[in-house]
Structure 1
Amino acid sequence: MMKIAIVGTGPTGIYCLQQLLATGRQLAVTLFEKGKKAGIGMPYSPEHAGKFMLANIASIEIPPVVEPYLDWLQAQPEARLVSFGLEPEDLDDRQFTPRLLLGEYYRAQLLALVERAREGGHQIDIQESTEVLDILPHQEVLQVKTAKGWHGPFDRVILATGHDFPDEDEATRSYYPSPWSGLIEASIPAVPVGIMGTSLSSIDAAIAVANQHRRFRRRGDDLCFDIAPDTGLHITLMSRSGILPEADFYCPIPYHPLAVLTDEAVARCASGSCPLDTVFDLVRAELLHADPAFALRIGLAGLDADSFAPAYFATREAADPFRWARKNLEEVERNKADKVTVPWRYALLRMHEKVEAIVSELPEADRERFDAGLKKVFVDNYAAVPSESIRRLLALRDAGVLSVLALGEDYDLKREPSRTRIKTQTDEHVFEVFIDARGQKVLTSNDMPFPSLREALLQAGQEVPEVAEDYSLIDVPGYAGRLTLASIPYLMHDRPFVQGITACHDIAAAIAVGAAKGRRRRLAAA
């Protein structure tokens, strides 16, 4: 049997187990989970999410483990669904459900997958409440150290540790370094609250604070938030541009193939002298092909890789963010009802993963240009949020407890013991509670929590871990070919769009392909 350790049992770890089992080889797998329950994943756990927080992915997009998410939902007791705000008769494959429910799905799927694997002769061991402290090479294998002692030897160790945010002990009563740093269990007073960021994580943070003081209520088709005007609570979402994300839009799934920006066309761009400009020529041509009216409206023919983003955001930045949000919400809900696809939105959605393939090969100057421009457009497009999240923002705005602040490019943020001050070019803003909700930061080898592995990476001169197509480490003595890095924060440097459940599945599939190839090479050598 091939002996494998999987560190982390969120979606990435679960899909890794699923894909490895599908290779047909008999396996002995040990799954290490730091939390009390394996299979849930940090963003979907009760410690880090409330029932009101929605997952930003619908059933139709979630790769099944043992059964599709919608099938699992439809098999749940009605009382359980109602407790999460869902009506059984309203379930459909494009619905956004609470994160906690998605976490319960993955937990159930892991247990079912393990039961099926054991029946097939595989040896599966789940170590819950077990934090991995270090990973060390020993001859031709790896050993894993926990507080319980040494485990192994393992032919391969897969790091699937998922998101990495500051610990709760870094938070104070007036400052939270992330929405995952104790905010869910904290008691937030009715004071001015500042939230850095305007993404779904920021929206969830705002709703978590608001829910401590009043509740959202439905009045007919409208969502309302009733609160006394003199309560003292006021929440400010802020970012450099001050724009809100748009609502998730209807489009065909699985995706239709692109006409111009193909894998082959993108690959050819890497060999040119100006790869970013060449790949943008493909982006422009694809948009012109998909939606000539949109191209004409923003003057696409005269734009380049640097001017495209300013033109794309110009109208939204000039508009009131809540008026834009209300108009956008009405548009996407109408399109969903009529199954209408906006061609330019769909084109951008399908292009970002194709373009990502060339990012690691961009010269430094081109990478800086990409991060400052085209990347922002793609992120804005694929990070559209559930319509219900926009409704909640509008309800808070109508209740007078929410505003959006555009900080501009030049602002000063100063943390004090009991407040946070932000000074822009025109004003100063003081917040008695401040939440940094800018999402997952890119991690480097210095952030690696396993001392021996961290030292080996740094000695190999890898400031950012280098991985092969199957995500196994390259050129790190003792670990190369044996340790597989499936932890998304460490992959984001070269793959800026790698976040999300579908990415977890794709990573796992590549790991399984690599494991199967390695097996064939060993058999051939024998």
Structure 2
Amino acid sequence: MMKKRIAIVGTGPTGIYSLQQMLTTGLPLSVTLFEKTDRAGVGMPYSTDASSMAMLANIASIEIPPVVIPYLDWLRRLPDDRLAECGLDRATLHDRQFTPRLLLGDYFRDQLLALVAQARGAGHDIRIVENAEVADIAPADAGLCLQVAGLGAQGPFDRVILATGHSFPDADEATRSYFPSPWSGLIEARIPATAVGIMGTSLSSIDAAMAVANQHGRFVQEGEDLVFHPEGRGLHITLMSRAGILPEADFYCPIPHEPLSVMTGPAVAACLARPAPLDALFDLLRAEIMQADPAFALRIGLGGLDADSFAPAYFAVRAAADPFRWARRNLAEVERNKAARATVPWRYALLRMHEALQEVLSDLPEADCARFDAGLKKVFVDNYAAVPSESIRRVLALRDAGLLSIRALGEDYDLTLDGSRTLIRTAGEELAFEIFIDARGQKPLDSADLPFPTLRKALLAAGQTTPDVAQDYGLIDVAGYSGRLSLAAIPYLMHDRPFVQGITASADIAAAIAGGLSTRRRRRLVS
């Protein structure tokens, strides 16, 4: 049997899991992995260009699908001095621990190299090409060809897997005072001790604050307290968002996840046939929470809420509280529960339900999708995007040092650039910042944003302003590409799959792509 010729564009987690899963199909493979940087396998969020040792990965070993060996096993093989450099102690390593992002990048690179060695030993042809930025993807008689900067035409390939990961503005779009994302040169920049504004209050925003703060002092453990010791004066960091609330700390729950009682797959699917699908889905959500945690349901008046009023009720008490006081209480609760291995039932129910809901979101009517984005989506994102406890401790340490504040901007505000300053105007005040960082995270991208001109033109010619992909992530109804290109680039999937981000999502996408290599499943996944 001839070897199936595969190109994987991008070697972060999605590209690595794609290779791993394809090796389980039993097909003879000839795979070329193209990486635009000089270190294949690391992935942008875990690289030295985008992360520092102070930035924590928001996923623990127990949640990371192993590539060759589990992450915790890999950590235990590291030398003591490397662990110490990362603030880790071999004696206290455990599978629910959050570690620096840079370590996770090293893990994935090491695992990619080990996986490639295994594959070659099994008779597959595997090639890694670094410093190889793909400029275009075009159909040819025998497959798809890639145009690679400095290398020219590569291929043809029977299948191209587009696994380019997150997409943020390049560092050359930043200035000395304005950073369009935390990954646009912030890590290398020297930030003066001045008024720094950060748009967003999520983990990305907290990481941006840490990148700045660590240039002007250090965190020190004093007994049970984490304290920030500033070096010099003048620094003040303001985190801003519409609601002005911090994320909560990551909570303990059983992993793997236990099955839901009410929001089962068949029950969710049946909602699509109802006259008001989103409202039917909310009925399942309400019943699931009432069964799991009656006290919480009673406390927020869940019985009288609907798909539109649940989010305001969910956030009401927290939004009215001082965000730092709430963070202290929440951190204490989370740490008690972790020590006791106690699960908060309503939190765990929401965590599991977002995965069930995502399976049908793309099939909802347009009006229901808009309602979901305006309300329930915020609840689920808040729940699954809980951050490491250590990140909350650092936020509180900066607050206690008088260097950090949080502002709620409301729904109506203006952001303008005034020379080297950034101005934020609300109904009640004007805020001015000498340094501004937009840390609101990945935004969904459209077909017009694709950096591959021939592919972009084909998608738009097919009338697909957002790519239409099948269950196996193959493009549908795009001349020259259908059956040949799998779209696994996260930003282009987010319109209809808003929860698709993260390492576990990368592994799930990879499994679906590998399954499609030997089948002809063409059911639409995203429309």
Indicate the TM-score class for this superposition, using the shorter chain for normalisation: over 0.9
**One-letter amino acid matched to 2:59:** I
Deviation by residue 1:205-229 (Cα, 9 ceiling, x = unmatched):
001000001011110111000126x
Corresponding residue for residue 167 of structure 1: 170
1:227 counterpart = 2:230:
yes
Match of 2:401 in 1: 399
- Cα distance, 1:417 vs. partner? 2.2
* Residue aligning to 2:191: 188
**1:518 Cα deviation after fit:** 4.6
What is the alpha-carbon distance in structure 2 between the residues aligned to residue 103 and residue 241 of structure 1?
Answer: 33
The aligned residue for residue 216 of structure 1 is: 219
Aligned residues: CA RMSD? 0.9
Q: Aligned partners of 2:269, 2:444: CA distance in 1, in Å?
A: 25
- Look up the match of 2:525: none
Tell me, what secondary structure is at the counterpart of 1:215? strand
State the secondary structure of the residue aligned to 1:422: strand
Matching residue of 1:247: 249
DSSP 3-state at the match of 1:64: coil
Q: Give 2:335's aligned amino acid.
A: E
Matching residue's letter, 1:442: P
Partner of 1:265: 267
State the alpha-carbon separation in 2 of the partners of residues 389 and 43 from structure 1. 17
User: How far apart in 2 are the matches of 1:396 and 1:155?
Assistant: 53
Which residue, out of 366, 369, 375, partners 2:371?
Answer: 369
Distance 2:430 2:364 in 1: 39
- Larger mean Cα displacement after TM superposition, 263-272 or 192-201: 263-272
Segment drifting more, 415-424 vs 296-305: 415-424
Structure 1 SS opposite 2:8: strand
- Which residue in the other structure is 1:489 paired with? 491
Query: Aligned partners of 1:416, 1:430: CA distance in 2, in Å?
Result: 9
Amino acid at match of 1:214: G
- Please name the residue that 1:301 is paired with: 303
**2:277 maps to which residue?**
275
4+ runs of 1 displaced by more than 2 Å?
none
Give the deviation of 1:416 after TM superposition. 2.0
Percent identity, please.
71
Indicate yes or no: 2:153 matched with 1:150: yes
| 1:350 lines up with 2:348 in the alignment | no
Q: Which amino acid aligns with 1:373?
A: G
In structure 2, what is the equivalent of residue 44 of structure 1? Answer: 46
In 2: Cα distance, 1:369 partner to 1:158 partner? 33
State how far apart, in whole Å, the 2-side matches of 1:219 and 1:456 are.
Answer: 60
**TM-score in terms of structure 2 length:** 0.98
Q: Cα distance, 1:516 vs. partner? A: 2.0
Gaps of 5+ in 2: 522-527
Give distance in 2, aligned partners of 1:506 and 1:323: 38
Whole-angstrom CA distance in 2 between matches of 1:266 and 1:182: 43
Whether the aligned pair in 1 keeps the contact of 2:142 and 2:157 (CA below 8 Å) is no
Match for residue 523 of structure 1? none
Give 1:23 shift: 0.5
1:122 paired residue among 116, 121, 124: 124
* Mean CA deviation greater in 137-146 or 204-213: 137-146
For 1:131 and 1:112, the matched residues in 2 are separated by 23
1:353 deviates by: 1.0
Alpha-carbon deviations, 1:371-398, whole Å to 9, x = none? 0100000000000000000000000000
Distance, in Å, in 1 between the alignment partners of 2:210 and 2:52 is 10
| Residue segments in structure 1 that go unaligned for 5+ positions in a row | 520-526
Aligned to 2:13: 11
Q: Please list the CA deviations of residues 61-86 of structure 1 after superposition, one character each: whole Å capped at 9, or x if unmatched.
A: 00000000000001111111111110
Deviation at 1:275, TM superposition (A): 0.6
Separation in 2 of the partners of 1:409 and 1:109? 45
Would you say how many aligned residue pairs link Structure 1 and Structure 2? 518
Alpha-carbon distance between aligned partners in 1 of 2:82 and 2:431, rounded to the nearest angstrom = 43
